[in-house]
Structure 1
């Protein structure tokens, strides 16, 4: 039955390619709703019948409806020292299907894939095309060949938000002795079929409507239809690999990628052993070695070696004092090994969105490497690329996600540190003086911890003008303020970042006849209100929670008094809690307090409007003003 379906499918696709009707008018109207582009026709054919070679042909027809869709054309192909682009060409059609441009391989730019990399053999051929009008249609054809069979690109028939797909097909021809495994996700509700025959896999999608971007939505991989594919036995450069499960995959990494890169000169070994001679705990030794690495080396991007996966020699890092994430992590691990401290080379998806290494699908995943130091049932995580990150601290780039640790026994899935809401704090303590003309002088001490520390600890590395710009952007609702003193302290031992600022704000209080209206919440006004979304479809996702605490002491001008105080306000919802209070002390000083708690969590789409209401109410209450009334004799 599967063979019959496959034969029928081939007849169908042959008919589609023969007709070549690329006009915009031929696109079903429902596919243009919420769309910046429409994938009219796509066929990707991959041949991995030989473990030593992968051939790939791509035919893609895509309609670009407006400027926001330009990037969806994907006018590029990657290659490296072990692969080649045999052919690539692009034809451009106008909205009526008339060909207006034809570009061949010689018209493509050839540049390093990572423009910031000092050492890279990964390159990209790309076409720098500027459209003259919209809409237009792109026909992209390419043929590539590589000696690596470790990376089979996942199939995303919808490649991004606001892109629909009229037809997308992925065919994989394989050797029955090495059949690819595959992991389909989020296929329910879409017209998607899978044909699984003894020598070929076919994934086919038809008439997929665009998925609209919705603020605070889940990851694409959680809602977009996709299929991940991998070979259990593969080749990566000169190394034959196997990975039917994570244990086996990790054993291959140990043997082929990590076993021969741990050499160090005797002088460095002696120095490290002397450095930790008085330390009696693994943590004490690890802290000193981590600081040694931070003082000695710097990060650069390197994309050479086995597919960019094999670290450079630890001895080369020691000699050159630089390396990429793989090299610096391996160097730190090698130093720890030398003094008997165990650690795990760890593969992770580094991104502020929390991408997990898939626990039930072993393959080459991840884009970053960190180090894990076991401590009984816990693991201390080290970011080895930064000269400023505290020991044991990881921020939003790698926190709270599944990662692959490479242990002596093989690979295992672990989870990085979760920063709970109550750990992510910012405490503002401000003293404010208002003069008789409505001008303000203020001092602010702001103390940040947890993930709020992550937002600020690199500020001292910035130029002074960039620091000034940071505060102007942060307080863009304050007109004309000037900073007269800035003190920034990154306490790496306690993982606390402290800002001490002095500033002047002319004409801050708003005159009303002889009186003033004054907003006590000078330094933490919430201006963010999520946009209105009609008929929201995606879950509401809040990735990280936090706590803000503000105390503002206000000295009112002489011959003025506070005319009435707003009542205490408390908002309490499933998303968090907000509370403000105004008090007058015995010496007629105003004390304003504010506490806001935002909880992380995932909620059904129906809760989005309630979330909007919560933040909208906070934005309104944050601007609460009091009347400073002049005593007229």
Structure 2
């Protein structure tokens, strides 16, 4: 009887597994708007001690179409502090029949070395299946790893992209006696289920099920505010005999300071050199600018993924000898040079990236991917991007600007904010002189002054591309239907907020359309805005206009009209006011010269979902105004 029950149980398990691999068993609601469906996603993180854990991730995904093919690939990173103990993959057809099991030789093992990663002990294992001739099909991956860098606990994101549905997913963390877990839930419908174990340990379990695919709306907030996520972190941990206790930002800063203390020694010859370099500077700002320029001129950035999980810096004297370093090393080196001349500076950990969301300030943990240097000053706090070879001291752009950073001081960490750049900092000031022929062709001399965030791309091109490559880049960027680029130059201007001046010499074919005795002339040559994408369904998410929506553009275009032509009518001034910004345009005609002045000031920020229709209306009005044209009639 017992054997019979065991046999029935086994048969039931096999049948259940087969259903899991059959695409026909998928609920229709999960296939809607989806390219793939996660049938099962199980992550188990078992903490053995303060310094070791194991992780097991089992995923079964049914891929519905070509755009879901990326789910047929599994990439697993590892380094000296982690080990991949198992990586398995299995492929099934639409009926759940086995097509292929990956063999050891099918799995690639590669270094993550690139031309900017001079030293890197990180590697990846890649398991993937070839493109399938028909859809749907199902992949099953099992990954097991051993982890010895417990500064980091897993972040669980079972639905990690658009157009991906989830049938069932479970996240389990098993903690041993004496060790506690910290966690933060976001968009989790059911809170954690906590179970105490017989040995005094604890098990934490999160589950989600039957989540349809999502499609992010235009200008919506970060994905973490819309998808189910569980962040986890330790309280006590040990990495290569460096012990940490983490419940506050202060404690995280203490650990980082301990990890990197004593690595700021520089050769005496170098100390004397920076003293000589700055001896005539009376202000802290002047001294910092001299040292920062010296670092920019004498060193270069190379990514180095070594040390305690990549978090311990190379010593300053080694950077002095080699003339290169990663963000940690160059920041530490610059700090050491400033220390030599009596200027106090501190590293600041940051989550860098122009599209990265700010830190979760209420969840102290290692959320950072970059380091910059902070110089406190009585008048103002100065931030230095030590990997940047050309920006002025104090400018951080949108790569590290307008976000919280963790200032690392000897007594611990403190959250502070980097500068935010507002509309008045991010200017595009353009003046254009156009001479128009009777056939509608034109020559245009264009001078544009870009500042702040609006100059970032141009400064990058100026310093990183050859003249020929700059020309190619520029030809793709200019939005004029038919033109020739005769000349172009770029010039930088120094200041607290960087400036790039661009001058262009253009020939524009058929700028104006000739029809009989009339010329139809579009007024806005280079700065017209398009309409916003309307939404047919009610808006769900807030409207997120990021830093790139804080800007001010002004265009002054002077037209030399062909002799014997006069305007057929006048165009009244345009004013459009909105919570999102303000737009004005006006036209004046003086004989055969006409001047068009257009200005727009945009305001970034977060707005309620209901305001999206106002955003569409605002952009529609601006786009219409930007399409304005003047009609000239030839006089007898």
TM over 0.5: yes
Structure 2 residue matching 1:356: 3-state secondary structure: coil
Unmatched tracts of structure 2, length 5 or more: 1-8
Equivalence map 1:90-101=2 (5 Å): 90-101=89-100
In structure 1, the partner of 2:632 is 628
Structure 1 residue matching 2:367: 3-state secondary structure: coil
Distance 1:291 1:315, change over 3 A: same
In structure 2, the partner of 1:57 is 56
Cα shift at 1:74:
5.0
Distance 1:525 1:71, change over 3 A: same
In structure 2, the partner of 1:137 is 138
Distance 1:535 1:389, change over 3 A: same
Distance 1:205 1:317, change over 3 A: same
In structure 1, the partner of 2:346 is 344
In structure 1, the partner of 2:67 is 68
Distance 1:344 1:530, change over 3 A: farther
Given that residues 41 and 170 in structure 2 are in contact (C-alpha distance below 8 angstroms), is that contact kept between their aligned partners in structure 1?
Answer: yes
Cα shift at 1:278:
1.2
Cα shift at 1:404:
1.1
Equivalence map 1:490-509=2 (5 Å): 490-493=492-495, 495-509=498-512
Structure 2 residue matching 1:286: 3-state secondary structure: helix
In structure 2, the partner of 1:463 is 466
1:516 pairs with 2:519: yes
Distance 1:361 1:391, change over 3 A: same
In structure 2, the partner of 1:535 is 538
Structure 2 residue matching 1:157: 3-state secondary structure: coil
The counterpart of 2:399, out of the listed 390, 397, 400, is: 397
Distance 1:42 1:520, change over 3 A: same
Cα shift at 1:196:
4.9
Q: What's the TM-score once normalised by structure 2's chain length?
A: 0.93
1:230 pairs with 2:236: no
Cα shift at 1:34:
2.3
Cα shift at 1:533:
5.0
Give per-residue Cα distances to partners, 1:305-350, cap 9 Å, x unaligned. 1111111111111111111111111111111111111112111111
User: CA–CA distance in 2 between the matches of 1:237 and 1:95?
Assistant: 47
In structure 2, the partner of 1:124 is 124
In structure 2, the partner of 1:84 is 83
Given that residues 447 and 497 in structure 1 are in contact (C-alpha distance below 8 angstroms), is that contact kept between their aligned partners in structure 2?
Answer: yes
The counterpart of 1:356, out of the listed 349, 355, 358, is: 358
In structure 1, the partner of 2:171 is 170
Cα shift at 1:240:
2.0
Given that residues 120 and 304 in structure 2 are in contact (C-alpha distance below 8 angstroms), is that contact kept between their aligned partners in structure 1?
Answer: yes
User: CA–CA distance in 1 between the matches of 2:518 and 2:470?
Assistant: 35
User: CA–CA distance in 2 between the matches of 1:341 and 1:15?
Assistant: 68
Q: What's the TM-score once normalised by structure 1's chain length?
A: 0.93
Give per-residue Cα distances to partners, 1:497-542, cap 9 Å, x unaligned. 1111111112221111132111121121123533545233111110
Give per-residue Cα distances to partners, 1:405-438, cap 9 Å, x unaligned. 1012211111111112222111111111101221
Distance 1:291 1:157, change over 3 A: same
The counterpart of 1:331, out of the listed 313, 333, 338, is: 333
Structure 2 residue matching 1:487: 3-state secondary structure: strand
User: CA–CA distance in 2 between the matches of 1:17 and 1:383?
Assistant: 58
Distance 1:179 1:106, change over 3 A: farther
1:609 pairs with 2:610: no
In structure 2, the partner of 1:557 is 562
Given that residues 354 and 401 in structure 1 are in contact (C-alpha distance below 8 angstroms), is that contact kept between their aligned partners in structure 2?
Answer: no
Q: CA RMSD in A?
A: 2.0
Cα shift at 1:565:
2.1
Given that residues 389 and 492 in structure 1 are in contact (C-alpha distance below 8 angstroms), is that contact kept between their aligned partners in structure 2?
Answer: no
Q: Which moved more, 1:527-536 or 1:124-133?
A: 527-536
The counterpart of 2:243, out of the listed 232, 240, 244, is: 240
Structure 2 residue matching 1:160: 3-state secondary structure: coil
Cα shift at 1:128:
4.1
Distance 1:151 1:328, change over 3 A: same
Cα shift at 1:479:
2.8
Cα shift at 1:480:
2.9
| Aligned pairs, number | 615
Given that residues 191 and 206 in structure 1 are in contact (C-alpha distance below 8 angstroms), is that contact kept between their aligned partners in structure 2?
Answer: no
Structure 2 residue matching 1:127: 3-state secondary structure: strand
1:584 pairs with 2:589: yes
Give per-residue Cα distances to partners, 1:176-231, cap 9 Å, x unaligned. 311111111232xx356433534211111111222212111101122222111011
Give per-residue Cα distances to partners, 1:227-262, cap 9 Å, x unaligned. 110111112234222222111111111112x11321
1:547 pairs with 2:532: no
Cα shift at 1:370:
1.0
User: CA–CA distance in 2 between the matches of 1:539 and 1:73?
Assistant: 33
In structure 1, the partner of 2:478 is 475
Distance 1:354 1:241, change over 3 A: same
Q: Which moved more, 1:360-369 or 1:370-379?
A: 370-379
In structure 1, the partner of 2:6 is none
Given that residues 48 and 149 in structure 1 are in contact (C-alpha distance below 8 angstroms), is that contact kept between their aligned partners in structure 2?
Answer: no
In structure 2, the partner of 1:8 is none
User: CA–CA distance in 2 between the matches of 1:52 and 1:193?
Assistant: 25
The counterpart of 1:319, out of the listed 321, 329, 350, is: 321
Cα shift at 1:354:
4.1
In structure 1, the partner of 2:622 is 618
User: CA–CA distance in 2 between the matches of 1:373 and 1:216?
Assistant: 35
Q: Which moved more, 1:549-558 or 1:18-27?
A: 18-27
Distance 1:20 1:340, change over 3 A: farther
Equivalence map 1:412-491=2 (5 Å): 412-461=414-463, 462-476=465-479, 478-491=480-493
User: CA–CA distance in 2 between the matches of 1:17 and 1:254?
Assistant: 56
Given that residues 191 and 207 in structure 1 are in contact (C-alpha distance below 8 angstroms), is that contact kept between their aligned partners in structure 2?
Answer: no
Cα shift at 1:458:
1.7
Structure 1 residue matching 2:275: 3-state secondary structure: helix
